[in-house]
Chain A
Amino acid sequence: MDINYDLAVGTTRELNQKLNAAATKDADVSFRVLNPKGAHTLAVGMTSNISVDIQGHVGYYCGGMNQNAHIKVLGNAGPAVAENMMSGRVTVSGSVSHYAGASAHGGLLVVQGDSSSRCGISLKGANIVVQGSVGHMSAFMAQSGSMVVCGDAGDALGDSLYEAKLYVRGNVASLGTDCVEKTLLDEHKREIDGLLERAGVTGADASEFRRFGSARKLYNFDVDNADAY
Chain B
Amino acid sequence: MPTKKNNDDRSSGRDELRSRLRESATYPREVIAEIQRAAETGIYDIRGWGAKRKVPNFDDLLFLGASMSRYPLEGYREKCTTSVTLGTRFASKPIELKIPITVAGMSFGALSGPAKEALGRGASAAGTSTTTGDGGMTPEERENSNILVYQLLPSRYGMNPDDLRRADAIEVVVGQGAKPGGGGMLLGQKISERVAGMRDLPEGIDQRSACRHPDWTGPDDLAIKIQELREITNWEKPIYIKIGAARTYYDTALAVKAGADVVVLDGMQGGTAATQDVFIEHVGIPTLPALRQAVEALQELDMHRKVQLIVSGGIRSGADVAKALAMGADAVSVGVAALIALGDNSPQFESDYNELGSSAGFYDDWHEGLDPSGISTQDEELAARFDPVLGGRRLANYLNVLTLETQTLARANGKSHVHNLEPEDLVALTIEASAMAGVPLAGTDWIPGKNNF
Query: Which A residues fall within an 8 A CB radius of B?
Result: 12-13, 16-17, 20, 40-41, 44-45, 47, 59-61, 64-65, 67, 79-80, 83-84, 86, 99, 102-103, 105, 118, 121-122, 124-125, 140-141, 143-144, 162-163, 219-221, 223
Contacts and interface: CB of A to CB of B under 8 A. Distances in A.
Nearest to A62: B228
B28 interface: no
Given A60-B221, A99-B215, A12 B210 contact: no
Given A79-B215, A99-B215, A103-B214, A223 B42 contact: yes
A141 B159 CA distance: 16
B348 interface: no
Given A41-B227, A121-B214, A220 B221 contact: no
Interface in B212-267: 214-216, 221, 224-225, 227-228, 231-235
Nearest to B152: A84
Contacts of B221: 60, 79
Interface of B: 41-43, 155-156, 159-161, 164, 187-188, 199-202, 204-206, 210, 214-216, 221, 224-225, 227-228, 231-235
Contacts of A219: 188, 202, 205-206
Contacts of A99: 214-216
Given A41-B228, A99-B214, A121-B214, 19 more contacts: A41-B227, A44-B228, A45-B233, A61-B228, A83-B215, A84-B160, A84-B215, A102-B214, A102-B215, A103-B159, A103-B215, A105-B160, A125-B200, A140-B214, A141-B214, A162-B202, A163-B202, A220-B205, A223-B43
Nearest to B160: A86
Contacts of B199: 143
A16 B203 CA distance: 38
A67 B161 contact: yes
A42 B155 CA distance: 24
A163 B41 CA distance: 29
Nearest to A60: B224
A144 B228 CA distance: 24
B231 A45 contact: yes
Contacts of A118: 214
Contacts of B235: 13
19 contacts: A13-B231, A20-B234, A41-B228, A41-B231, A45-B161, A64-B232, A65-B232, A84-B156, A84-B159, A84-B161, A86-B160, A103-B159, A121-B215, A122-B214, A140-B214, A219-B202, A220-B188, A220-B206, A221-B187
Contacts of A61: 215, 224-225, 228
A13 B205 CA distance: 42
A51 B22 CA distance: 78
Nearest to A78: B224
A139 to B, nearest CB: 11
Contacts of A20: 234
B201 A40 contact: no
Contacts of B188: 219-220
B436 to A, nearest CB: 35
Contacts of B164: 65
Contacts of A41: 224, 227-228, 231
Contacts of A59: 224
Contacts of B42: 223
Contacts of B200: 105, 124-125, 143-144, 162
A221 B206 contact: yes
Residue from A40, A41, A67, A99 whose CB has the most chain B CB atoms within 10 Å: A41
B161 A16 contact: no
Contacts of A84: 156, 159-161, 215
Nearest to A15: B231
B156 A124 contact: yes
A105 to B, nearest CB: 7
A167 to B, nearest CB: 20
A140 B212 CA distance: 12
Contacts of A12: 231
Contact of B161 (A80, A86, A121): A86
A54 to B, nearest CB: 15
B231 A80 contact: no
A148 B206 CA distance: 27
B155 A122 contact: yes
A162 B225 contact: no
A108 B200 CA distance: 18
A102 B217 CA distance: 13
Contact of A122 (B41, B210, B227): B210
Nearest to A59: B224
Which 8 pairs from chain A and chain B are nearest by CB?
A: A45-B232, A80-B215, A103-B156, A219-B205, A102-B214, A65-B161, A102-B215, A223-B42
A47 B164 CA distance: 13
B214 A40 contact: no
Nearest to A79: B215
A136 B233 CA distance: 33
B47 to A, nearest CB: 15
Contacts of B210: 122, 141
B276 to A, nearest CB: 11
Contacts of B156: 84, 102-103, 122, 124
B92 to A, nearest CB: 12
Nearest to B199: A143
Contacts of A67: 161
Contacts of B204: 220
Contacts of A220: 188, 204-206
A40 B224 contact: yes
Contacts of A47: 161
Contacts of A45: 161, 231-233
B190 to A, nearest CB: 13
